Structures are given as structure tokens and as C-alpha cells.
Amino acid sequence: MKLVRKDIEKDNAGQVTLVPEEPEDMWHTYNLVQVGDSLRASTIRKVQTESSTGSVGSNRVRTTLTLCVEAIDFDSQACQLRVKGTNIQENEYVKMGAYHTIELEPNRQFTLAKKQWDSVVLERIEQACDPAWSADVAAVVMQEGLAHVCLVTPSMTLTRAKVEVNIPRKRKGNCAQHDRALERFYEQVVQAIQRHINFDVVKCVLVASPGFVREQFCDYMFQQAVKTDNKVLLENRSKFLQVHASSGHKYALKEALCDPAVASRLSDTKAAGEVKALDDFYKMLQHEPDRAFYGLKQVERANEALAIDTLLVSDELFRHQDVATRSRYVRLVDSVKENAGTVRVFSSLHVSGEQLSQLTGVAAILRFPVPELSDQEEDSSSEED
């Protein structure tokens, strides 16, 4: 993401002009745009024209519109973002108040204006514009007959390919069918790796599986690379790291990222940091449950006692349509930072973020034990809300 211009007043109202350069930038933009904001961008509009003879025709014109945002739609697989709203600035092709949907395009700038830019949104802009935050980890999670090829970016886990091949069982005295199917499966996984992994950017490829599947697959891949003189695979052989996972499903990627060998290799990536923080929380919940809280009221109670060492919060909560609820989460984040705590904002598109969402989306590791809210206290505080 490229920041072209930033005009934010002392009262935190203002606008920023950004240029999305990569597919992941659309995810960042989805987390920036909210209902009620105004968005100015280039778009295509179908316009009816009437000739001097009275015949009516239509053609598509490119124009720049400013919309008051009413709905936001994000396609996580295609990384496409569509914003629907009403036109709030005079335009020769579109009437004031007319509805239009803008599909934001890569390498075309847009201007986003808000009445209130909070700290969470401003921090996301800083992160999105930092070139160090790129998709530097790839993963192949596999078992016999099933494989997922994923890109692990700082903000999301993208499934780039799913390979499924029916592998017959080994029969006594006849393994030919099984071996042929397995070879066909391995070949399709190799093709998916070559098609979807950019080795100029990726610095580590995790190959995760139960049993000996990963070893057999890597042996096959590099034997074929030698036979076919595949320089890309041979030159990047050192980037492949074999680790254990319980299955070939996408959720098993979390186990692979928790592996100590992987953690040391990926020590500077946000994805590894998120996984470690969630792992630390689960360990604390198991061994010292009075130092591991989850749920907004419990976490706010711990924050009032200045007890939060690490706050884990899902970015999903900052997309809440209710301004008051959203502001509550922003205040919590700001307060924890002011009290020298660490805040980790988890992406809801990461496997670790999906797990945090199952724990209400907000959790905290505490510096010291704090008594939990009783059911009666929770009921009374919810009545106050």
C-alpha cells in the first residue's frame, strides 16, 4: 500500500489518499472503510445517451465518484473489494443521491474521509504501508490424497490451491495402483507449488503432514527437479522446512506454525507472533487460569486493575457496525498500550484469528491474578450497558 496524502485535523477528522498495490492491500482497505465514511475513487458507470435523432444508446464511461458508504463486500479468495453507497458530489454522469457500487482496483488511488480517525485504523495504515509486511511464508499442509497450498501473509492465510486425489489402498502383492495414484498426487502438488509460490518473496516453505508423507513428497519433488533440471526448485531447496501436522486440512497449519523449529525460522513475522501469543494464552489458561481472561467484560475488569500484560483482539471486532461498541474496543486497546501492555491484533483470516474468534474475539494474559467476575456481577454490568 502506498500513502499518497494524509490530512487529519486535531479533532481526528480528515482524509487519506492511498494506492493499493497488492491483493492483500484490499484486505487492509476492507478494515479501514466503514459505513458512514465517504470514499472517492475512479469507477466505470453505464450511461444512457440520446442522439440528435432521438435514438437512445448506452456506453460505459470512466468517472470519479464520491460515495457515502452504505455497504462493504469483500471476497477473501479473489481479494476484491466492492463498496456501495450514494453519490454525494455533483457529477456530469451521476445524479446526487444515486446509488453506485465502486470496485476498488489495484494501482488506482482512492481517498477515504472519516469524521473520526481512531488509533486502530491509523496503525493499520502504518502497517499496510510498511514494505516489511509482505507474504514471506508459504505452506503445504498435506496427507495422502489431500493437500492445501497456502500463503501466510502478516494479515491473512490464503488458500491458493487444494489438491485432492483418490488413493487406492495397498493390496497384498499388488501396490501398483496405489503407487501410481500417489505419484499423480505428488505431481499435482508440485505443479501447485510452482504456480502459486513466488520464491523471490517467500523465504520459507513449510511442508507439514502426519507420518512420513512430507519426507516422501520432498524426496519425490527434488528427484523430479534433478531429472527435469528445474532450477527454481533446486535453487530454493534450502527454503523447504519439514514439520509435523495432524492432517492435510488447513486448520492443521496452526500446529506447524507452533513448531519450535518453525518459530525460530519465522521469528520476525507477525503470523508467528500471533500463533505464539495464542499458544501462551492457552498454556496460561491451563496452568494459571486466574491469569488468563477472555470475554469483553472480564478483560475490561483486568484492564481496570492494570493487570493486562498482553491483549489479544480480533480485527473483526473493529468492523462492528455499532459505533459505541467499536469505540469500546478501541478504548480498551488504547488503555492497554498506555499502561505498557502489548496489543496483538489478530487477523480473522488467519487460522489463529479464527481460533481467537471462538473465544469471543478478545482475550488477555495478565501480569498477576485478578478475581473473576461472578455471574451476578456480569448480569448487573450487562444491565448497566
Per the CB < 8 A criterion, the answer to whether 193 and 205 are in contact is: yes
273 sits in the region (left: phi over 0; alpha: psi -120 to 50; else beta) called alpha
138 neighbors 152 (Cβ within 8 angstroms): yes
pLDDT at 383: 46
pLDDT at 382: 47
Query: Which residue intervals of the chain are DSSP H helices?
Result: 23-32, 119-128, 176-196, 213-228, 231-235, 253-258, 260-265, 270-287, 296-304, 323-338, 351-358, 375-384
Nearest-angstrom CA–CA distance, 72 and 85: 9
Contact by Cβ (8 Å): 302, 269: no
In 3-state terms, what secondary structure has residue 174? strand
Distance in angstroms (rounded) separating the CA atoms of residues 121 and 102: 21
- Domain 136-268, what architecture? 2-Layer Sandwich (3.30)
Model pLDDT, residue 307: 95
Q: Domains of the chain: which residue ranges? A: 2-49+58-129, 136-268, 271-375
What are the φ/ψ torsions at residue 331 (nearest 5 degrees)? -60, -40
CB atoms within 10 A of CB 132: 10
Q: Are 342 and 311 in contact (CB under 8 A)?
A: yes
pLDDT tens-digit readout, 211-265:
999 999 999 999 999 999 999 999 999 889 999 999 999 888 888 888 777 776 6
CATH class held by domain 271-375: alpha beta
Instruction: Give burial (CB, 10 Å; 0-12/13-18/19+) of 356.
Output: buried
Q: Give the whole-angstrom CA distance, residue 222 versus residue 173.
A: 28
- For residue 152, the surrounding DSSP H or E stretch is strand 146-152
pLDDT at position 128: 83
How far apart are alpha carbons 86 and 100 in whole angstroms?
6
Q: Is 363 helix (H, G, I), strand (E, B) or coil?
A: strand
- Say whether 332 sits in a helix, a strand or coil: helix
How wide is the angle at C-alpha 23 spanned by C-alphas 264 and 362, nearest 5°? 60
Query: pLDDT tens, 113-170?
Result: 999 999 999 988 987 887 545 557 899 999 999 999 998 876 678 888 999 999 988 7
Asked if residues 140 and 148 have their Cβ atoms less than 8 Å apart, the reply is yes
Per-residue pLDDT, 133: 56
Is 113:14 a contact under the CB 8 Å cutoff? yes
**In the CATH scheme, what is the homologous superfamily, with its name and number, of domain 2-49+58-129?**
Pelota, domain A (2.30.30.870)
CA angle, 152 then 309 then 380, to 5°: 105
Residue 10 near residue 32, CB atoms below 8 Å: no
The letter for the amino acid at 164 is E
Distance CA 373, CA 384 (A): 15
Give me the residues of the chain with pLDDT under 50, please: 132, 375-376, 378-385
**CA distances (Å), origin 345, targets 4, 105, 153, 295, 361:** 25, 26, 14, 15, 10
Please say whether the beta carbons of 330 and 119 come within 8 A: yes
Report the distance separating Cα 209 and Cα 144, nearest Å.
9
**Cell (9 digits) for 258:** 507452533
